[in-house]
Structure 1
Amino acid sequence: MSPVRFVALGDSLTEGVGDPVGNGWRGWAALLAAGLAEEPVEFTNLAVSGAQTRDVARRQLPAALALRPDLASVVVGVNDTLRHTFDIRSVAARLDAVYGALAQRGTTLLTACLPDPGTMLGLPGALARPLARRQHAVDTVVHVLSDRYGAVHLHAHDGAWVTDRAMWSADRLHPGERGHRQLALRFHALLAEAGLATGPAPSPEPESPAPTRSASLWWLATAGTGWVARRCTDLLPQLLALAADELHHRARGTSARLDLRASAAASAALARLTVRERVEAGTVA
């Protein structure tokens, strides 16, 4: 019997940032790979820190298809929300293309919805809420497309693990080792329930001691701050405008309109995909 081939696509979360091993990162996908089968698994991690949906669609997807995976995880979208170019229609179209290409090859998909970065960073409400709406829109698209393509989907956008600081690294955006283990464990449980994981479940307990507070603060003040700055610099002017709009609507008591607008945009993006697919299938003139 051929070994199980597992390919991971995505950004820094899947690359393993927050779970250092040696001179590199390990992360939830590598932890999960070890428990997919009793026999060794062929695991390839294509995820790259900073990747957006366009990077996954253009660069990682062709490489993944060439590997003919039995299982592929696609967890991406947070970096899109941190760019001034964010467009839920483009995000939806790219995710649809990636999911569809893998599913068409008979690959089992792993997907997840994630917490919004504004809340994780502890930003003030006027700054956090616009980012939360963006992430909610991405999560809505991921939910619908995961169902459409029969993905094994993990609901990771809320729950105790989000508010438990022991799960997160100093930058508050990436899980620490315990958090990565929690993701791997939850994915493994879903796969085992579906009969797709026959190896031992990952241990929830870290192998390495948690970094000291001083070490965490030093990392955040050096590498961590730079990481956040590189991903948010082009968003800042727009985010300040969004925050001003947020405060304006709050003063007028019309904040619900912003929520409805974001939900409508996600629904329209999904409806556009449905119409396009029907046109391609020849069922719409």
Structure 2
Amino acid sequence: MRPVRFVALGDSLTEGVGDPVGAGRRGWAALLAASLGPDTEFTNLATGGAQTRDVLERQTPAALALRPDLVAVVVGVNDTLRHTFDIHAVTARLDRVYAACAGQGATLLTACLPDPGAMLGLPGALARPPARRQRAVNAVVHALSERYGAVHLHAADHAWIADRALWSADRLHPGERGHRLLAVRFHALLAEAGRATGRPPSPEPEFPAPTRGASLRRLAAAGTAWVARRCRDLLPQLLRLAARELRHRARGTTARLDSESATAVSAALAALPGRERGAARAGAGAG
């Protein structure tokens, strides 16, 4: 009997940012892999900054070549932080990724995530546009997870978001405690589905929490480049979106923006090719 092959796709969250181990990173997916059973082969293909396009075009082909039994696909936040954000494109890409993995008989792991504006503590008018985008992505992930029979973790509205002890200094990535919590919650879902035979990951950190000074130094080193990129990419559009938000608020028509977003999600899901959906459902049932 061959080992269980677990492959993780996604961005910096799954890459393990916030959970440094030695000179590298670990993260929730690696913690989960160690608890799935003694014969688990784990490959982490997630990369910092990845968007749904990167997962579809680069990570998924590499994952399929490994013939995985279990595939984690947790991505989408970086798409919401780009001026090119398009929920139709995000939906189509995620559908193709899910279909390809499920079509090989792999079990999918998915998650909906908190919006980055709230995590960063942006003020109201600046926070609402990225929050609306993240809600749209989460709605798509919910719908596609159900369509493909994924093991889905609701991680957008959990109390853990408000617990600063679970988060790293950058306010966007979990610290070790947060990564462990994700691993524990995924393990519980997989155990319920009969897909995890090992002991649950420990929720207690293995390493001392970084000192405030170390956290600030790490944040300064990693955050400067991130801020510079977002100032060139997202900030100009975010300011325009915030101005639009304020105009609608003054007119009492903010609900129209939420309605437009919900309509766009429905249209994006309705536009998915039925042939791909049907093939994926058949593949998921075979697994």
Amino acid in structure 1 at the alignment position of 2:193: A
Say what the alpha-carbon RMSD is for the aligned residues: 1.4
Distance in 1 of aligned mates of 2:227 and 2:193: 37
Cα distance per residue 1:107-136 (max 9 Å; x no partner) = 000000000000001011111100000000
Q: Which residue of 2 aligns with 1:263?
A: 262
Amino acid in structure 1 at the alignment position of 2:16: G
Relative to structure 1, the CA distance from residue 253 to residue 206 in structure 2 (aligned partners, 3 Å threshold; closer, same or farther) is same
Do the aligned partners of 2:99 and 2:276 also contact (CA within 8 Å) in 1? no
Query: Secondary structure of 1:209's match?
Result: coil
Amino acid in structure 2 at the alignment position of 1:188: H
Amino acid in structure 2 at the alignment position of 1:136: R
Mapping of 1:150-161 within 5 angstroms? 150-161=149-160
Distance in 1 of aligned mates of 2:47 and 2:29: 13
Q: Which residue of 2 aligns with 1:248?
A: 247
Q: TM-score, normalised by structure 1?
A: 0.95
Do the aligned partners of 1:188 and 1:197 also contact (CA within 8 Å) in 2? yes
Residue 277 of structure 1 pairs with residue 274 of structure 2? yes
Amino acid in structure 2 at the alignment position of 1:152: V
Do the aligned partners of 1:121 and 1:172 also contact (CA within 8 Å) in 2? yes
Question: What's the % identity of the aligned pairs?
Answer: 77
Amino acid in structure 1 at the alignment position of 2:17: V
Residue 27 of structure 1 pairs with residue 24 of structure 2? no
Distance in 2 of aligned mates of 1:149 and 1:173: 28
Q: Which residue of 1 aligns with 2:216?
A: 217
Report deviation, 1:212.
Answer: 1.6
Relative to structure 1, the CA distance from residue 131 to residue 153 in structure 2 (aligned partners, 3 Å threshold; closer, same or farther) is same
Mapping of 1:93-112 within 5 angstroms? 93-112=92-111
Q: After the TM superposition, which parts of structure 1 deviate over 3 Å for at least 4 consecutive aligned residues?
A: 278-281
Distance in 2 of aligned mates of 1:99 and 1:197: 21
Query: Secondary structure of 1:170's match?
Result: coil
Cα distance per residue 1:3-28 (max 9 Å; x no partner) = 11000000000000000001111000
Do the aligned partners of 2:181 and 2:203 also contact (CA within 8 Å) in 1? yes
Amino acid in structure 2 at the alignment position of 1:9: L
Amino acid in structure 2 at the alignment position of 1:127: L
Query: Secondary structure of 2:157's match?
Result: coil
Report deviation, 1:40.
Answer: 3.4
Report deviation, 1:279.
Answer: 9.7
Q: Which residue of 2 aligns with 1:165?
A: 164
Do the aligned partners of 1:50 and 1:231 also contact (CA within 8 Å) in 2? no
Report deviation, 1:147.
Answer: 0.3
Q: Which residue of 2 aligns with 1:75?
A: 74
Which structure 2 residue ranges, 5 or more long, are not aligned? 279-287
Q: Which residue of 2 aligns with 1:61?
A: 60
Do the aligned partners of 1:171 and 1:224 also contact (CA within 8 Å) in 2? yes
Relative to structure 1, the CA distance from residue 195 to residue 81 in structure 2 (aligned partners, 3 Å threshold; closer, same or farther) is same
Do the aligned partners of 1:34 and 1:40 also contact (CA within 8 Å) in 2? no
Amino acid in structure 1 at the alignment position of 2:179: H
Distance in 1 of aligned mates of 2:133 and 2:206: 35
Q: Which residue of 1 aligns with 2:193?
A: 194
Cα distance per residue 1:38-65 (max 9 Å; x no partner) = x231100000000000000000000000
Relative to structure 1, the CA distance from residue 261 to residue 223 in structure 2 (aligned partners, 3 Å threshold; closer, same or farther) is same
Distance in 1 of aligned mates of 2:2 and 2:155: 32
Q: Which residue of 2 aligns with 1:207?
A: 206
Distance in 1 of aligned mates of 2:55 and 2:83: 19
Distance in 1 of aligned mates of 2:99 and 2:112: 18
Distance in 2 of aligned mates of 1:94 and 1:168: 29
Amino acid in structure 2 at the alignment position of 1:277: G
Amino acid in structure 2 at the alignment position of 1:75: V
Q: Which residue of 2 aligns with 1:48?
A: 47
